[in-house]
Chains A and B, each alone.
Chain A
């Protein structure tokens, strides 16, 4: 029995950033820059570090939205004060390492202290990881 060339855990997917994300990031950073204590360059790095975290564990965040007609599942990753919305494409011919498609970046609203800590129970039969397109 031959072993795979590379441990799948070490395979990092490619990253694609949609055109609208450029506008999203610029808007977020402009908002930060308006505050005297804001550090837009540091906050930009928070977002980019979030991208890198997603690349290293694209399936760690639960599916938030699914559209079966498009084969699309959106997930949300919180990076500092931002929410990064992305889709994960499992490895295929075009993207042999898989792909993380960044769809939007939002300034996160923290509604309560448990936000991002205590996840709500998923609806029945919906966010079942075994039925994900990406697996």
Chain B
């Protein structure tokens, strides 16, 4: 008795290349990196790597200045956009 053929799984989709890979920089970006401001220990590469994909895919909360023309209106909109503010959550 022959064994039942195993289902052939489709090839996994190739992983999409991130918009910014700090380990694989273009010569231009490598040159730019030499001049990064390192005075405050901010990991700029990590910030770019974790936001550039979202930026290019337009995944962000947008607050149009015409909808929130005053500082107070913007602050209220930002407060409402947060699900929970620490100190307010119920235990």
Contact = CB atoms under 8 A, between A and B. Distances in A.
A19 interface: yes
Contacts of A26: 82, 84, 86
Contacts of B65: 12-15, 55, 97
Interface string A5-44: 0000000111111111010011001101100001111001
Contacts of B40: 76, 83, 108-109, 111, 115
B86 A14 contact: no
Given A15-B63, A70-B29, 6 more contacts: A32-B87, A38-B87, A55-B65, A65-B37, A104-B51, A111-B39
Interface in B21-35: 25-26, 28-29, 32, 35
Interface residues of B, number: 43
A101 B55 contact: yes
Contacts of B81: 17
Interface of B: 19-20, 25-26, 28-29, 32, 35-37, 39-42, 44, 47-48, 50-52, 54-55, 59-66, 69, 71, 74-75, 78-79, 81-82, 84-88
B60 A18 contact: yes
Interface of A: 12-20, 22, 25-26, 29-30, 32-33, 38-41, 44-45, 48-49, 51-52, 55, 64-70, 72, 74, 76, 83, 85, 97, 101, 103-104, 106, 108-109, 111, 115, 120, 123, 126-127
A66 B28 CA distance: 10
